Structure 1
Amino acid sequence: MTQRFDLAIVGGGPAGAAAAWQAAQTGARVVVLDKAEFPRDKPCGDGLTARAVSYLQKMGLGEELNKFHRVDGVKVFSPSEWDLSFPTRPGMPDHGYVARRPELDTILLRHAGSAGAEIREGAEVIGPVQDTRGRVTGVTLKGGETVSADAVIAADGAYSPIKRAMKMDSEYNGYSAIAIRAEMPANRPDSNMLEIYLKLAFEGDQLPGYGWVFPFGGGQINIGLGYVNSYKKWQQINATQFMGQFMETLPREWDLPKIDDLKKAKGVRAWRLPMGFTAWPPWRPGVLFTGDSLGAGKPASGAGISKALESGLAAGECAMAALQNGGPDDFTNYAQRMEAAWGREYKRGRYFHKLLGQPKLANAGIKLIDNARFRDVVLKSMYKKAQGPQHKF
């Protein structure tokens, strides 16, 4: 059995749903294939930055976000305590949210469906279909069904079956982070701030990473931590035990559950986060890579949802533009879009990824950040850059 579409999208997470919504705006025949049945859980910090909110607003989901817990900035412990508000940028929101992924991803996928995309849940893609020249012309599902398409967007995650089947490699493939998190009740007032803890040590080494506490509201929080694999002893870290140690540093009056109890209840989830373009160039004839299959995670922070949305929207737009003009053999327009948006930032991020893997340098970096005078200079520069040039009329 074979069906044909203009665009087949593998993966119904934020990247895939955004790509489907964008492409469906053109009237194209679009299908989204995902092996899961939604709502489904996805290990994540669950934080939506102001930039992520801006993309969701662009998609017409601003009102839907009001059901989630709003946050107005970030409280950083380095280990001194300081607040960081979201930059004020023209036409951009000044707040974020904490949104459980089962709810957020279902909203996004249903939104793509309402725009005209066909949504097929429980449809596991095992690999691409390629013609004699190697161009991707569709995908094969578990069970043997083939779905044909003029182009395919691989939004199928860090362990992308499409990327693996095509034996794709990139000089940036080694850049990734390991993260772990759990949702739990906490005996503390609901906060309107994301909390980041920079002092994260393993056997005396300052790690290139951080811990977090994100509030869901209603007395529930998301606690987690992440660290990058440039640290030479990263494979020696038992992430679950390490997270338990991090939780023990948090205020005792919060009355947090024990890590062993969370583990027994299967409430602890770990995952790998590829960062800094692990598929480059981000396309091959007939296929574009987006979200985690692209390695869209931000190298500095690991932030993934805003990058998934941005790359998904770009992939959907660029795929349809190419199909309407030159055809599916060349998606250079997508590579140019991603390079212009993230190229310089990700090059710099990969450099710091390597640098901060050295504990001495990571520790020196923490000391600099913890210095109020140095921090104020850096933050002032960041805010000025975020606000852009000031024009007088």
Structure 2
Amino acid sequence: MTKRFDLAIVGAGPAGSAAAWQAAQMGANVVILDKAAFPRDKPCGDGLTARAVSYLQKMGLTEELKKFHRVNGVHVYSPSEWTLSFPHRPGMPDYGLVVRRPVLDTLLLHHAAARGVEVRESAEVVGPTQDATGRVTGVTIKGGETIAADAVIAADGAYSPVKRALNLDSQYNGYSAIAIRAEMAANRPDSDMLEIYLQLLFQGDQLPGYAWIFPFGEGQINIGLGYINSYRKWQQINATAFLGEFMSTLPRDWDLPPIEHLKKNKLVRAWRLPMGFTAWPPWRPGVLFAGDALGAGKPVSGAGISKALESGLAAGECAVAALTNGGPDDFTNYENRMEAAWGREYKRGRMFHKLVGYPKVSEYGLKLLDNHTFRDRMLKTLYKKAESPSTS
């Protein structure tokens, strides 16, 4: 017998678990499915911005967040050194956190379960079920079991099986970044700062991207780098070797392991980050897309966790509201929410994504950032905007 739910959510990352929690808060009967058993690893920079922290606070996780490593700003190398603190914004934290994804994602999944969400781990969704009109009516799990639902939220990642099965495309498809990271011990004092390295060269070209070092505390760090695919030679880059080259520029007395050792022990993970709305509109009859399945990553910078949480919370709320007040054929409310929140920003971001793919443009932009007069003026404007009560 096929079990029926108000909402079936595919993928238990931050977007999926946030959507499940939000929908359950509103009284919906929700199931969340993921092909993995938790805790499971997920390649990521593991950094939470102040905005990501604020969403977790809104979900009632303030006490749990105290266990994670706090960071108070960003130390930037461009190649000159300068510091960017998190701005003071009304009702917002002025700090970020660093936490491993197995820990964060398991916390969020258990938080959704505590609200009554049915959790199905090791349940790989292979595609949606549809009625005669093409409306999504549930999902099929590997092995043949079907889950019926009034609506589905696809939060199933960059290679979304739901999106692929529906053969969906978007005018914005193709905007993405390639990232790689490794976690390791380092012989250096623990830091309360994220570190960003903007001078990233490949065959003499200044890349549209950056490298990072994020501290977990207790002598552990996440080192990685990412670059966007508008760079004409991006497919020529061996990401693992490139990461090794970057690590070789770091202080010897940190005693970092060689990249060969990290690779041999499967500590190096790479991933693709779609950005700028790779599923648009973000819904079809019976289904909404969130997180990487939506292409929620912030263009160019690649910030993903805060965007996953925001899109998941919005998808959960909008799905239940639409089902309550009209049915599963129209989720324009979700489209309007995402357009209002990110539309203008992502439109500019997609234009910038194309522009900085030219090494000369990236090189010029880096020179501007390295000019302290220009940089101070830019940061003053950004802080003033961030501190405005009208800023969301």
Instruction: Calculate the TM-score normalised by the size of structure 2.
Output: 0.99
Match of 1:68? Answer: 68
- What does residue range 1-393 of structure 1 map to in structure 2 within 5 Å? 1-389=1-389
Q: Counterparts of 2:263 and 2:66 in 1: how far apart (Å)?
A: 31
Q: Which amino acid aligns with 1:155?
A: A
Return the offset for 1:300.
Answer: 3.0
Q: Which amino acid aligns with 1:322?
A: A
Instruction: Give the conservation status (yes or no) of the 8 Å contact 1:150–1:286.
Output: yes
Q: Percent identity?
A: 79
Instruction: Give the conservation status (yes or no) of the 8 Å contact 1:71–1:96.
Output: yes
Q: Counterparts of 2:46 and 2:313 in 1: how far apart (Å)?
A: 20
Deviations 1:271-325 (A, max 9, x none): 0000000000000000000000000000131010000000000000000000000
Q: Counterparts of 1:389 and 1:323 in 2: how far apart (Å)?
A: 33
Return the offset for 1:389.
Answer: 4.9
Instruction: Give the conservation status (yes or no) of the 8 Å contact 1:286–1:329.
Output: yes
Instruction: Give the conservation status (yes or no) of the 8 Å contact 1:173–1:277.
Output: yes
Q: Counterparts of 2:344 and 2:384 in 1: how far apart (Å)?
A: 18
Deviations 1:341-363 (A, max 9, x none): 00011001101100000000000
Q: Which amino acid aligns with 2:106?
A: T
User: Partner of 1:328: helix, strand, or coil?
Assistant: coil
User: Partner of 1:63: helix, strand, or coil?
Assistant: helix
Instruction: Give the conservation status (yes or no) of the 8 Å contact 1:10–1:125.
Output: yes
Q: Counterparts of 2:311 and 2:166 in 1: how far apart (Å)?
A: 21
Runs of 4+ residues deviating >6 angstroms: none
User: Partner of 1:302: helix, strand, or coil?
Assistant: coil
Return the offset for 1:384.
Answer: 0.8
User: Partner of 2:62: helix, strand, or coil?
Assistant: coil
Instruction: Give the conservation status (yes or no) of the 8 Å contact 1:154–1:160.
Output: yes
Q: Counterparts of 2:196 and 2:301 in 1: how far apart (Å)?
A: 11
User: Partner of 1:6: helix, strand, or coil?
Assistant: strand
Q: Which amino acid aligns with 1:277?
A: F
Instruction: Give the conservation status (yes or no) of the 8 Å contact 2:89–2:389.
Output: no
Q: Counterparts of 1:286 and 1:86 in 2: how far apart (Å)?
A: 39
Q: Counterparts of 2:350 and 2:20 in 1: how far apart (Å)?
A: 30
Moved more, 298-307 or 153-162: 298-307
Instruction: Give the conservation status (yes or no) of the 8 Å contact 1:178–1:227.
Output: yes
Q: Which amino acid aligns with 1:289?
A: F
Q: Which amino acid aligns with 1:8?
A: A
Q: Counterparts of 1:348 and 1:180 in 2: how far apart (Å)?
A: 25
User: Partner of 2:297: helix, strand, or coil?
Assistant: coil
User: Partner of 1:367: helix, strand, or coil?
Assistant: helix
Q: Counterparts of 1:288 and 1:28 in 2: how far apart (Å)?
A: 16
Q: Counterparts of 1:297 and 1:264 in 2: how far apart (Å)?
A: 30
Q: Which amino acid aligns with 1:192?
A: D
Instruction: Give the conservation status (yes or no) of the 8 Å contact 1:35–1:122.
Output: yes
Q: Counterparts of 2:67 and 2:194 in 1: how far apart (Å)?
A: 17
Q: Counterparts of 2:273 and 2:318 in 1: how far apart (Å)?
A: 25
Instruction: Give the conservation status (yes or no) of the 8 Å contact 2:228–2:300.
Output: no
Q: Which amino acid aligns with 2:312?
A: G
Instruction: Give the conservation status (yes or no) of the 8 Å contact 2:210–2:225.
Output: yes
User: Partner of 2:318: helix, strand, or coil?
Assistant: helix
Q: Counterparts of 1:377 and 1:9 in 2: how far apart (Å)?
A: 45
Q: Counterparts of 2:256 and 2:172 in 1: how far apart (Å)?
A: 38
Instruction: Give the conservation status (yes or no) of the 8 Å contact 2:90–2:389.
Output: no
Deviations 1:104-127 (A, max 9, x none): 000000000001110010110000
Q: RMSD of aligned C-alpha atoms?
A: 0.7
Instruction: Give the conservation status (yes or no) of the 8 Å contact 2:75–2:84.
Output: yes
Q: Counterparts of 1:148 and 1:135 in 2: how far apart (Å)?
A: 12
Aligned length: 390
User: Partner of 1:250: helix, strand, or coil?
Assistant: coil
Q: Counterparts of 1:351 and 1:87 in 2: how far apart (Å)?
A: 26
Q: Counterparts of 2:367 and 2:389 in 1: how far apart (Å)?
A: 31
Q: Which amino acid aligns with 1:267?
A: L
Q: Counterparts of 1:24 and 1:52 in 2: how far apart (Å)?
A: 21
Q: Counterparts of 1:296 and 1:69 in 2: how far apart (Å)?
A: 25
Return the offset for 1:252.
Answer: 1.5
Q: Counterparts of 1:359 and 1:34 in 2: how far apart (Å)?
A: 40
Q: Counterparts of 1:381 and 1:282 in 2: how far apart (Å)?
A: 32
User: Partner of 2:94: helix, strand, or coil?
Assistant: coil
Instruction: Give the conservation status (yes or no) of the 8 Å contact 1:27–1:116.
Output: no
Structure 2, gaps ≥5 residues long: none
Deviations 1:73-93 (A, max 9, x none): 000000000000111100000
Change (3 A) 1:28 1:43: same
